[in-house]
């Protein structure tokens, strides 16, 4: 037996157990630690990576460009901005004509209540240009998403002289084609008009206006 080896005797006097020499022991301990470190790193990298925001999350607060030329008259497209559904409605002349017919039925026809209508939308259309309405599709009552009911006329859960708009399916609030809420409904305010502006005759950008630069 070499002098570098260590011999151990168990309590019952059984054959001696030869342990690895100190150099051998140091090698195996080092190898085990290295393997553990690699495994730990393999687990840690995805874990730490999970804290990094995704591309979608980074873009969530960024302005959204919309080609309005692709939206047919009488139709709506929904876009996401800051996690909110934003409706862009291309209103027809008939839809615009119906706005003045419901003023007496609305809770805030002139959009005087603060917080939901920027100055450039404080008009009978609640928009920069009559034909295009941009609004957040979230009911101001408890945050449900209203259902578009653009077709005028009598319909279930709506008045016989309905001029078009949207109906909140959760608690029955009515909104006209400019997102203005009807009187005596659970929703306390008109639908929000987000910041937006035209960048050409055929494009708008949501999230940017005079008070909210990009």
**SS3 track for 58-100:** HHCCCCEEEEHHHCCCCCEEEEEECCEEEEEEECCHHHHHHHH
Q: Catalytic one among 171, 202, 203, 210?
A: 171
- Do 180 and 101 meet the contact criterion of CB atoms below 8 Å apart? no
Tell me the sheet residues that pair with 132.
Answer: 90, 129
Q: Which residues contact 41 (CB under 8 A, 6 or more apart)?
A: none
Q: What number of helices (H) and strands (E) belong to the chain?
A: 3, 11
φ/ψ (deg, to 5) at 19: -90, 155
* Sign of the CA dihedral running 153, 154, 159, 160: positive
Angstrom distance (rounded) from CA 213 to CA 82 = 15
Concerning whether 171 is annotated as a catalytic residue, the answer is: yes
The catalytic residue positions are 171
């Amino acid at each position: 037996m070499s002098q570098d080896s260590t011999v151990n005797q168990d309590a019952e006097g059984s054959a001696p157990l030869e342990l690895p020499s100190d150099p051998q022991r140091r090698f195996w301990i080092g190898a085990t630690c290295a393997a553990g470190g690699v495994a730990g790193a393999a687990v840690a990298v995805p874990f730490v990576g999970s804290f990094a925001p995704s591309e979608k999350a980074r873009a969530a607060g960024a302005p959204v460009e919309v080609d309005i030329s692709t939206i047919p008259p009488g139709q709506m497209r929904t876009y996401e901005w800051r996690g909110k559904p934003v409706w862009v409605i291309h209103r027809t002349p008939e839809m615009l004509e119906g706005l003045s017919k419901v003023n007496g039925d609305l809770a805030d026809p002139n959009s005087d209540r603060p917080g939901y209508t920027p100055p450039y939308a404080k008009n009978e259309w609640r928009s920069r240009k009559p034909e295009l309405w941009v609004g957040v599709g979230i009911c101001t009552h408890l945050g449900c998403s209203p259902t578009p009911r653009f077709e005028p006329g009598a319909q279930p859960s709506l008045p016989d002289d309905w001029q078009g708009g949207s109906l909140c399916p959760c608690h029955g609030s009515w909104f006209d084609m400019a997102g203005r809420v009807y009187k005596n409904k659970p929703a306390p305010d008109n639908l929000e008009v987000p910041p937006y502006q035209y960048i050409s005759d055929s494009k708008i950008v949501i999230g940017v206006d005079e008070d909210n630069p990009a």
